[in-house]
Structure formats: structure tokens, C-alpha cells
Amino acid sequence: MDAADALREIAELLERERASRYRARAFRQAAAVLAELPAEVVSDLSRLRAQKGIGDSTFEVIRQAQQGAVPDYLVELRSAVEPEVASALRSSLRGDLHSHTDWSDGITPLGTMVAAARALGHEYLAVTDHSPRLRVARGLSAERLRAQMPQVRALSGDGLTVLAGIEVDILDDGALDQDPALLAELDVVVASVHSKLRMDAAAMTRRMVAAVSDPHVNVLGHCTGRLVQGERGTRPASDFDASAVFAACAANGVAVEINSRPERQDPPDELIAAALAEGCLFSIDSDAHAPGQLSLLDHGAARAEACGVPPARIVTTWGLERLRAWAG
């Protein structure tokens, strides 16, 4: 098989299983290096091994591919990484409103994420890098976000519309961590709590209600902040009055995100039921930080289907025109 294709597939599989970002990045880097090398270097294994960006593992993948074999490591990953789970609801999803690039804490450039979304058949993808207060994630200042917006929209084409967005931090008092005038220029705003997750329930409720009442907000991201598995460990759900928060979402047309990352499974099933009872809309999103994680939508779709969420109330089943009208 083509060596560069093998390297990229390995990277995607590592990303889907949320392996170390450094491992996945190494295979993507090797594929990029290989694509730029002249044919005489690629065919000379001794010269190829000496190239910066080609390590022992990636070199072995290239060597085996050049010999006409499917590389052993790729065979191993194909059998070990859980494949996408097909479902009626997954096939109805038309896009994704929550993704990250290397402008903040994602691991790949805009173009790589967009190409992966296009390959999955998405009709739209919102790029929603973090806002400035989340410094650990290289959150975007107003100046950086303003610079990113035209670059994001310029990548639309070939059946995919790329939407300029943000995952904006909900501050302690419920205000949003970005210039309101700039938020008004975006196509999609996902608002999420990333700090003081153990805040008193009454204060957290006021904080979240204030945020989803802001007219710029379209989606309430991973509402409890919990972690249930994975290398980051576990973290309990935030405590808040779910009925009050979801009633505010419903009143303001804000979709409750069903976050597809298996380590989050957020909201829990009982809160999906509470949001359903309050009449909320939903958005099934990948929260992808790498191209291979865009496929995690199957996990969110499976949970939504199991919880009886009607497809008509899931905004990511809507076509682009209706989605834009809702997002306003």
C-alpha cells in the first residue's frame, strides 16, 4: 500500500482511540515529510532513515509498505481500535459544531481537520478553538480569533462549509470570555465551563443560566464537565439545577451538547432525559482535537438514540440553511 496513506491511517486510528497526541503527531509528521521528499530519496532506505521526522517506528511502516505489505502496526491497530458504530441516527448527522485545531489545543492545522471532515462526508464543520482565559489550551485572543475567521471560511468547498466559531469560556459570573462584538460575527458559539467545576450548586446554576441567556450563545458544551475514563483520570460532574439550566436553554433556543468523547459521556443519561423534558434542542458534537476524533460522532449518536432523543430536535441533523437560520 502507499506508505503515506499507511502513516495517515495509523495517525487517525491512534487519534480515534485518544492515544498520546505525540504518537499520532509523529505519524502525521512522517507522512508530511515523505510527501515532500524526492523519489530517489524515498526509494533509498538508508537515505530515507536519515531524514528528520522519520523515526524507527515510522520508518518500519514505510519499509513494509514499500515492500507491498500492509504494515504490521497498521494491521494491529485495525483490529484493536473500535470501529465506527453504524446507526440510523449517525447516518442522519450532517455536521459537527465543536472541533479544535492547532490554533489552540488541537494537534493539526486547519486544513488537515477540514480535509478529514470532508472525507467523512460532513456538510458543515464548525471550528471552535478556545477563548483567551484558557491559557493552558492557547486560547485565542480577540486579535488571533479575528485573524483566524477568514482562514476558516476560506476552506469551504467541495460540499463542505466551514463555519467560524469558538468554544468560549463561561466566566465565574456567567459572562463570556470574548468581545461581544466579535462573538456576533461568528457563525457558531459553543459556551462551556472549564474552571471552578466544584462551585456551589446555586452559584453554578446562576452562572450557566446567565451564559445560555446571552444572545450570542448557540450551544451549551459538555455541561457537567465530568470525566468518566481515560488517561486524564476521572472527575465528578458539576452540581447545578438541571431543570433551571435546561429551561433557560429551551427558552433561548440554545442546544444542549451531547459530547461524543467516550471519556466525557456528557451529559449523563439522566440529564439528557431532563433536557428532553424541558423541550431542549441538542447538538451531537465530536469535540475533536485531531482529525481521527471527528469520527467519534458515532458514540454521541448511539447515546442519543438510546436515550430516545428525536432526530428532529438535534440541530446537527439539520441542513446548512436551517442551521444558519437557527444560529442566527
Q: Is residue 20's pLDDT more than 90? A: no
Which SS3 state, helix, strand or coil, does residue 95 take?
A: strand
Strand partners, 314: 282
Please state, in angstroms and rounded to a whole number, the distance separating the CA atoms of residues 313 and 250: 11
Q: Is the pLDDT of residue 233 over 90?
A: no
Alpha-carbon torsion (178, 275, 235, 197), positive or negative: positive
> In terms of DSSP bridges, do strands 124-127 and 281-285 run parallel, antiparallel, or are they unpaired?
unpaired
pLDDT, tens digit, 9 for 90 and up, residues 202-228: 999 999 999 999 999 999 999 999 999
CATH number of this structure's domain 88-327: 3.20.20.140
DSSP secondary structure, 162-229, as one string:
EEEEEEEEB-TTS-BSS-HHHHTT-SEEEEE--S-TT--HHHHHHHHHHHHTSTT--EE-STT--B-S
Position 137 scores a pLDDT of 87
Task: Give the CA distances from residue 248 to residues 84, 168, 210, 252, 328, in Å, rounded to whole numbers and listed in that order.
Answer: 34, 18, 9, 6, 18
pLDDT value, residue 74: 98
pLDDT tens across 80-123, in order?
A: 999 898 899 999 999 999 999 999 999 999 999 999 999 999 99
Task: Name the amino acid, one letter, at 118.
Answer: R
Where do runs of H (alpha helix) occur along 87-162? 88-92, 110-119, 142-153
| CB atoms near residue 172 (< 10 Å) | 13
Which of 120, 173, 91 lies closest to 292, judged by CA? 120
Cell of 117: 471532515
Quick: pLDDT tens for 185-208. Answer: 999 999 999 999 999 999 999 999
Pick the CATH number of 3-80 from 3.30.70.20, 3.40.309.10, 3.30.1490.390, 1.10.150.110: 1.10.150.110
**Domain-wise residue ranges, the chain:** 3-80, 88-327
